[in-house]
Amino acid sequence: MKYIYSLILVSFLLSSCKNVKKKSVEEIIATNNLELIRKKKTELDASAQEILVQLKQLEKTIKILDPQEKIPLITTFHAKESIFNHFVELQGNVNTNQNLVIYPEFSGVLSGVYVKEGQKVSKGQVLAKIDDGGLSQQLSQLKIQSNLAKTTFERQERLWNQKIGSEIQYLQAKAAYESQLEATKQLQQQIGKTVVRAPFSGTIDDVITDQGSVVAPGQSQLFRIVNLDDMYIETDVPERYVSDIIKGKEVNVVFPFLGKEINAKVRQAGNFINPANRTFRVEVAIPNKDTAIKPNLTAKLKINDYTNKKAILIPQSIISENAEGQQYVYTITNKVENKARVKREFIETGRTQGDYIEVLSGIVNDEEIIDEGARSVKDGQEVKILVVE
């Protein structure tokens, strides 16, 4: 082809020389005659256009006559075994079992509130006191009566042990004493309900009712206490993953609004399939040492449901399918330097992850597969390899 270009250029120069035999370009420019200069430029432009047309005709003929010019150009890559972890992507909410609104167990005036919002408290710590309405005085009277009943019973017991007195007197004294003890115990339990204690260690998130308010059991909310240590994410998983997502499976957790990502594990996988949406419940325990994660926060979960330690992954874009629904890719054989033959390989595919898909059969490790140009080649065709990845 280089020779052809050279001949054309030579002929162009010769023809130009003949046409300008009388006056060269330099001589015409030296005349400073605008008309002559423009005329010469027009002649040269016409000659150039004619040469371009001739070049295109020659290139077309060369492609027809030279078989090397018909060989498609491709790029290839080597199939490599790698660890393939497939993840199910779900969304869930953060929960805690220790997020509680505290109600009173006794009716009366809230006589004392001993904590503030944001204050950390320990289990059993006194949070508030409700006026007992005179029950303390009644308890004092009962204790006096209990002491009298105890003394009477102890004396009657000594007499009975000495065979003095009747059995009925002994039993009556005993019953009276036990009755007083039970009444005292019940009243103490009632008074104990006037003291509001923390059911677990945590933080007072909200003081709902102010001191001096009248409160009633099951109606008046006093405090909200939250423990952010034992947090977990709850989500519903489609039933088709019931045998894959089990306790101990790895989970990647992303909190979009916190810009935070952590690794965790499935703490519990439910054994009940919800008939309404065909899902089962999964819990994922999450650490929260810095208390940045709050209840009801949205989280995105990627749960590992499948792992293949020797997987071959290929781009989905290079896979073709025939009329029978069989999938195939093109590989190369008979490779000599940068030229090779195309071979069609039928494959069986598995799970996908992003733009890649797992090949279960049809491709072996280190096999060279056509990447760019895969859609424009045919089985048995000769190709030229430009790049090997």
Residue 197: the pLDDT is 92
Residue 354: the pLDDT is 83
Strands 108-113 and 214-215: antiparallel
Residue 389: the pLDDT is 63
> Could you name the CATH architecture of 100-225?
Beta Barrel (2.40)
Name 320's Cβ contacts closer than 8 Å, sequence gap at least 6. Answer: 327, 328, 329, 374, 375
For domain 73-84+309-388, is the CATH number 3.40.50.720? no
Residue 3: the pLDDT is 41
Taking the C-alpha atoms of residue 389 and residue 387, their distance in angstroms, rounded to an integer, is 6
Strands 339-353 and 382-388: antiparallel
- CATH topology for 89-97+228-305 is Elongation Factor Tu (Ef-tu); domain 3 (2.40.30)
For 96-118, write each residue's pLDDT tens digit.
Answer: 888 889 999 999 999 999 999 98
Residue 225: the pLDDT is 92
Taking the C-alpha atoms of residue 131 and residue 149, their distance in angstroms, rounded to an integer, is 29
Taking the C-alpha atoms of residue 389 and residue 107, their distance in angstroms, rounded to an integer, is 79
- Collapsing DSSP to helix, strand or coil, 346 comes out as strand
pTM of the model: 0.55
Taking the C-alpha atoms of residue 104 and residue 177, their distance in angstroms, rounded to an integer, is 32
Burial of 110 by CB count in 10 Å (0-12 exposed, 13-18 middle, 19+ buried)? buried
Tokens representing residue 329 in the block:
């890719």
Residue 67: the pLDDT is 56
Residue 155: the pLDDT is 85
Residues in the chain, pLDDT under 50:
1-10, 12-14, 16-22
